Amino acid sequence: MAHGQAQAVGSVAARTAPTFYASGFWRRAAGFGIDAAIILPVGLLLTWMAGAISGLDVPASRFRGLDFWLDLLLTSDPVTWGAIGLLAAIAVVYLLVFQVILGQTPGMRVVGARVIDVYGEAPSYGRAAARTAGYLACFATLGLGFLWAGFDAERRGLHDWISGTYVVRVRPPAVRKGPASVDKASEKGDS
């Protein structure tokens, strides 16, 4: 009898466990784009202000294409590396604060996604910090850590695996009604 009771309790627990739906690659990419649209203008403004206050500017050039910026990076121009460092610091603070306080960034909120840990709870400070460090690892791999989420069976990127988190939908996917699920009341009204 004790065995039967254990099965009944287990089946009740299984029925009450929450179900989460992993957020797909494109939804996550849209959220990332929205976050980038928030971070970049703020970061560029603060970088410009820091340059104006310190009197340091990016070296002058008539051509500002990809070659110019690669040359600045490869010659280790301190102004360029300082600007990159300041932008990275702003992004880290942005990501860490929103993931710790709300469990989602503004971009995630717009696309209907949030971050949870492996237990279905909001990420702890440590997990949020590990996730943010994972973002830096994703950028260090030239974005391959982000693309990983597009091919992973659990839809997790490198930063998710590092921190033990998932990005899930806030609302479950809508059930699509096909022609076989037409409401019977509407059929009677159409006659």
Parse the chain into domains and list their residue ranges: 19-56+63-172
From first to last of its 191 residues, the chain has per-residue pLDDT tens of 444 444 444 455 555 667 888 888 999 999 999 999 999 999 989 988 888 898 877 666 666 777 777 777 787 777 778 888 899 999 999 999 999 999 999 999 999 999 999 888 889 999 999 999 999 999 889 889 999 999 999 999 999 999 999 999 987 666 666 565 444 444 444 43
Q: Residue 51 and residue 81: Cα distance in Å, rounded?
A: 12
Q: Residue 122 and residue 105: Cα distance in Å, rounded?
A: 13
* Cβ-contact 145, 158 below 8 angstroms: yes
- Whole-number pLDDT of residue 77: 73
